[in-house]
Amino acid sequence: MLHQRLKNLQKTLRKKRIKAFWVIQPENILYLTNYSQDLKLLITPTKGYIITDPRSAGMLRQKVKNFEVVEIVSSSGEVLSNLIKKTKARTLYTEDGITVAGLRSLAKKCKHVKSLPSPITELRLVKDSDEIKKIKQAVKITSACHRYIAKTIKVGLTEKQIVWLIEKYIREHDGDGLAFPPVVAVGPNAAVPHHQPGKTKVRKGTMLLLDFGALYQGYHGDMTRTIFVGQPTPKFERIYKAVVEAQLKGVKFIQNELRIKNYELRKFEKQLDKVVRDSLAGQSLDQYFTHGTGHGVGLQIHEAPSFHQKRVTGVKLQNGMVFTIEPGVYIKGWGGVRYENDYLAQNNKIIKL
């Protein structure tokens, strides 16, 4: 898999006539090597170089066969300068997001330096079988943790205590940690989509919104459930039902687009968001839906595609994409309901992970 990922990137570099590409983003380094600590990458159309500390060099040579590992003897800058001379590249391209100081430093190694949106980001849109396997495991741990928390919740626990239970469970069940800081919101706190957990205690007769995910070998899970402690009120049941129905309509929309093989549908991000919002509008709840309908998931918790009316990426729907669909309703002074699952587009079908 790693070999093919490098080959795909090199094919892109050849198309763009890029002779030297400097990879600095940790998630992109991880994508190409399965490692990310204390190393940088220089990619040419025919060669991949890992620049690293001598202490890691031996291990990387054994584990990452498709790269040439170059040890830093005096400075990484000197190593990079020598490699650029070797490639005979007149311009060094680097991923955008680099600091001004970083650009100035690179300019000392190569006369012409340009930053650009990383072509690796586009390659990561479509997950290969190894990535899908890891994401499935992250989601499996996340889902099991949600079931555990639902059974463990009791009156008197604080939001912060529940966060600890979540992290403890994930780490004890093969997870590498939290995919992101969990949202645990009791009662009216659930009206804030990204509420920061505090000392509010679980009480009987209140809702509890739980949004968290497990991290597994660099890949993220992301799932939200809203439960009611005690007997649900009619208002909660009505809103919960409306949110779940909106989510299912979003799933049906994607399934239809995959069925008709509409891979050139570049507006599907906005259209999915509209389908979900229109469903909530049918229940006069759309004004309480204050965020996007979903996002891509992988080596980052938020990546393309982006299901929103304004913040879209313009990518087309493709098999191999992994994304969330997560409508929500948030009413100040009352609380909120969000329902979120992770989905995989595969073999012209949408699969719930």
| pLDDT > 70: percent of the chain | 93
| pLDDT > 90: percent of the chain | 66
Alpha helices in the chain (DSSP H): 2-16, 26-33, 54-63, 76-87, 100-107, 119-123, 129-152, 159-172, 234-259, 268-281
The predicted-structure confidence for 271-327, as pLDDT tens digits, reads as follows: 899 999 999 999 999 999 999 999 999 999 999 999 987 777 888 888 999 999 999
> What's the chain's average pLDDT?
90
- What are the structural domains of the chain? 2-123 (3.40.350.10), 129-352 (3.90.230.10)
Question: In a 10 Å sphere around its CB, with 0-12 CB exposed, 13-18 middle and 19+ buried, how is residue 331 labelled?
Answer: middle
Amino acid at residue number 126: V
pTM over 0.85: yes
The predicted-structure confidence for 55-96, as pLDDT tens digits, reads as follows: 888 888 888 889 888 887 666 667 777 787 787 878 888 888
Question: Of 98 and 337, which is predicted with more confidence?
Answer: 337
pLDDT classification of 44: cutoffs 50, 70, 90: very high
The predicted-structure confidence for 195-214, as pLDDT tens digits, reads as follows: 999 999 999 999 999 999 99
The pLDDT score that the predictor gives to residue 103 is 59
The pLDDT score that the predictor gives to residue 75 is 64
